[in-house]
């Protein structure tokens, strides 16, 4: 929480007020959108969510001490000494109110947002590490963790809610951070979580099938991501992947300075893969050779993105490449585990068709062909069901053997999820001989390890850095990396 209160009239400035009731000249000590977090003297913002409407919890928030309510309609029961502010959309107003309350921390930082289907976590983490090596105090807001200078905490969402974002940015200002790198998900953009935030620049990595359970169509998903670039100011930069067919579409409406990067075409920042192995990548970027620890062509794009961003921010190219060459992939991103008998294990977060295809194609490019590639794959419950079949087909077509198992089934029956995956093999009978089903994930990883012999490769995909498995609303301790390491080295 911020140490000093703010005046209500200042906090609700520019939130789109249509009506007020009660005094606007009162001190507000916190801004909350969860009634359980309400406390004395706070502003409660009643947001309509997918399953819960904050308007139903206004009374609870007041009972806990809320002295002001930001809402879309004044409740039937109006409390004395409580101020009510009506706006047309509380979801949008929340971001502005949070930014006002924390005194617009994003304006005091060089905040760079990264969006795209895949690569956000790797790019933001690398940017954080590289800019830190170049002598800057930095912050990070990402899927795996949030970092305020060097204080790291676990993250629960790719992009947090508007209040948490502004709180984190406020802490970064207090810690005298200069640069902040932030993953910006399509959900966050569609839900106005970054409303009121000022970005110094935005980066587009790539676009492919994901989140159609939420966005309903590919166009809606694309439009959500485009919002990040549409809202940039003229003094910001917009960096886009020229090799993605949606790369130029993403920045077509932006006022920002447009820059491009590519491995295939002429662009502002050009790269080429010279060598790709399990040890890392040898790249040529702007006629300079660089070796880095990351593996695969998809990571060559991530490296090039980081290089381009550094150049845009005026960094010395030699220093930049030196810092990049020292970088490692984030936890659970193509993480290599060496086992007995030369068996290689790989743990990766790949949970979209495109990400899985990239990982498997990379392994197939590097391998000799004399070893088997065994893939352990599950799909998440209560998420986009349309990607289950395609992911299963990709795994079966690009692996010698695939084991279908549970991921995070959440409220769904794991067997039903696996049945949805198996439907993806219906069009190609040849693929059906390649798979087996082991519903228990730990047992599935064990079966893969038992099947593997000299120099074989095991890919465990889908959960990456996660340390839990979510089943029926309960998060059970589960770590793919730890389990695979133990089984490969017993």
Distance of alpha carbon 95 from alpha carbon 431, whole angstroms? 48
Inform me whether the pLDDT recorded for 209 exceeds 80.
no
Distance of alpha carbon 175 from alpha carbon 148, whole angstroms? 7
pLDDT at position 1? 54
Distance of alpha carbon 400 from alpha carbon 373, whole angstroms? 5
Q: Are 131 and 316 in contact (CB under 8 A)?
A: no
pLDDT at position 220? 83
What's the token pair of residue 215? 């966005």
Phi and psi at 21, nearest 5°, equal -145, 125
Strand partners, 201: 112, 237
Distance of alpha carbon 203 from alpha carbon 229, whole angstroms? 9
Q: Are 158 and 135 in contact (CB under 8 A)?
A: no
Range 302-318 average pLDDT: 98
Q: Are 228 and 199 in contact (CB under 8 A)?
A: yes
Q: Are 242 and 265 in contact (CB under 8 A)?
A: yes
**Would you place residue 49 in the very low, low, confident or very high pLDDT band (cuts 50, 70, 90)?**
confident
pLDDT at position 127? 98
- The total of other beta-carbon atoms located within 10 Å of residue 217's CB is 9
Span 472-484, pLDDT tens digits: 999 999 999 999 9
Distance of alpha carbon 308 from alpha carbon 285, whole angstroms? 10
pLDDT at position 213? 54
Q: Are 281 and 303 in contact (CB under 8 A)?
A: yes
Residue 266 vs residues 15, 130, 271, 283, 397: alpha-carbon distances, Å: 44, 25, 10, 16, 33
Residue 127 vs residues 38, 44, 122, 131: alpha-carbon distances, Å: 36, 35, 8, 6
Inform me whether the pLDDT recorded for 104 exceeds 90.
yes
What's the token pair of residue 400? 């010698």
Span 109-143, pLDDT tens digits: 999 999 998 999 999 999 999 999 999 999 999 99
How many Cα atoms occupy the beta-carbon half-sphere of 335 within 13 Å? 22
DSSP at 102: T
Q: Are 345 and 336 in contact (CB under 8 A)?
A: yes
**Would you place residue 215 in the very low, low, confident or very high pLDDT band (cuts 50, 70, 90)?**
very low
- The total of other beta-carbon atoms located within 10 Å of residue 362's CB is 20
- The total of other beta-carbon atoms located within 10 Å of residue 21's CB is 13
pTM above threshold 0.85: yes
Range 275-292 average pLDDT: 96
Q: Are 334 and 351 in contact (CB under 8 A)?
A: no
Span 397-421, pLDDT tens digits: 999 999 999 999 999 999 999 999 9
What's the token pair of residue 93? 């107003």
User: Is residue 146 classed exposed, middle or buried when 0-12, 13-18 and 19+ CB atoms within 10 A define those classes?
Assistant: buried
The full length of the chain comes to 490
pLDDT at position 3? 65
Strand partners, 69: 44, 84
Distance of alpha carbon 490 from alpha carbon 485, whole angstroms? 9
Distance of alpha carbon 482 from alpha carbon 251, whole angstroms? 41
User: Is residue 301 classed exposed, middle or buried when 0-12, 13-18 and 19+ CB atoms within 10 A define those classes?
Assistant: buried
Residue 63 vs residues 37, 79, 214, 284, 432: alpha-carbon distances, Å: 12, 10, 34, 62, 60
Cα dihedral sign for 335, 340, 344, 346? negative
Inform me whether the pLDDT recorded for 214 exceeds 70.
no
Inform me whether the pLDDT recorded for 210 exceeds 70.
no
Distance of alpha carbon 224 from alpha carbon 218, whole angstroms? 10
pLDDT at position 216? 57
Cα dihedral sign for 319, 235, 116, 469? positive
Write down all domains in the chain, each with its CATH number in brackets.
6-101 (3.40.1390.10), 105-325 (3.40.1190.10), 335-488 (3.90.190.20)
**Would you place residue 219 in the very low, low, confident or very high pLDDT band (cuts 50, 70, 90)?**
confident
Which positions ≥6 away from 189 have C-beta within 8 Å? 115, 224, 225, 227, 228
Give percent of the chain above pLDDT 90: 91
pLDDT at position 156? 79
Q: Among residues 129, 160, 158, which one has the least CA distance to residue 351?
A: 158
- At 443 the three-state DSSP class reads helix
pLDDT at position 480? 98
Please name the residue that has the structure tokens 């498995």: 469
Inform me whether the pLDDT recorded for 229 exceeds 50.
yes
DSSP at 150: T
Distance of alpha carbon 249 from alpha carbon 258, whole angstroms? 12
What's the token pair of residue 275? 């060598």
Distance of alpha carbon 32 from alpha carbon 45, whole angstroms? 6
């Amino acid at each position: 929480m911020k140490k000093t209160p703010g005046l209500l009239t200042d906090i609700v400035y520019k939130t789109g007020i249509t009506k007020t009731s009660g005094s606007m000249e009162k001190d507000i000590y916190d801004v909350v959108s969860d009634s359980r977090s309400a406390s004395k003297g706070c502003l409660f913002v009643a947001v309509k969510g997918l399953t819960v409407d904050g308007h139903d919890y206004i009374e609870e928030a007041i009972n806990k001490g809320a002295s002001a309510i930001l809402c879309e309609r004044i409740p039937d029961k109006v409390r004395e000494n409580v101020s009510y502010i009506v706006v047309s959309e509380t979801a949008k107003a929340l971001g502005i109110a949070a930014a006002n309350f924390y005194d617009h921390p994003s304006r005091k930082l060089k905040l760079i947002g990264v969006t795209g289907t895949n690569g956000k976590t790797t790019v933001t983490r690398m940017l954080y590490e590289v800019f830190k090596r170049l002598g800057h105090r930095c912050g990070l807001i990402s899927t795996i963790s949030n970092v305020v200078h060097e204080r790291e905490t676990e993250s629960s969402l790719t992009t947090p809610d508007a209040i948490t974002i502004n709180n984190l940015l406020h802490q970064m200002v207090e810690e005298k951070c200069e640069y902040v790198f932030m993953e910006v998900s399509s959900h966050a953009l569609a839900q106005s979580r970054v409303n009121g935030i000022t970005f110094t620049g935005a980066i587009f990595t790539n676009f492919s099938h994901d989140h159609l359970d939420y966005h309903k169509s590919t166009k809606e998903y694309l439009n959500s991501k485009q919002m990040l670039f549409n809202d940039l100011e003229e003094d910001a930069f917009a960096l886009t992947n020229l090799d993605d067919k949606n790369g130029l579409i993403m920045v077509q409406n932006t006022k920002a300075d447009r820059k491009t990067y590519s491995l295939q075409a002429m662009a502002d920042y050009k790269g080429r893969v010279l060598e790709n192995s399990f040890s890392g990548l040898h790249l040529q970027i702007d006629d300079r050779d660089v070796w880095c620890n990351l593996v695969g062509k998809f990571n060559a794009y991530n490296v090039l993105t980081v290089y381009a961003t550094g150049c845009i921010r005026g960094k010395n190219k030699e220093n930049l490449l030196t810092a990049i060459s020292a970088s490692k992939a984030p936890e659970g991103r193509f993480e290599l585990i060496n086992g007995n008998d030369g068996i290689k294990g790989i743990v990766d977060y790949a949970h979209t068709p495109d990400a899985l295809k990239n990982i498997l194609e990379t392994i197939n490019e590097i391998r000799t062909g004399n070893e088997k590639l065994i893939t352990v794959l599950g799909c998440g419950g209560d998420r986009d069901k349309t990607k289950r079949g395609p992911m299963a087909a990709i795994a079966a077509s690009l692996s010698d053997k695939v084991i279908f198992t549970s991921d995070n089934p959440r409220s769904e029956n794991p067997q039903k999820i696996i049945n949805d995956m198996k439907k993806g093999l219906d069009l190609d009978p040849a693929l059906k001989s390649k798979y087996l089903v082991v519903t228990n994930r730990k047992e599935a990883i064990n079966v893969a390890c038992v099947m593997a012999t000299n120099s074989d490769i095991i890919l465990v995909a889908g959960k990456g850095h996660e340390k839990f498995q979510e089943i029926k609303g309960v998060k059970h301790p589960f770590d793919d990396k730890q389990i695979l390491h133990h089984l490969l080295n017993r």
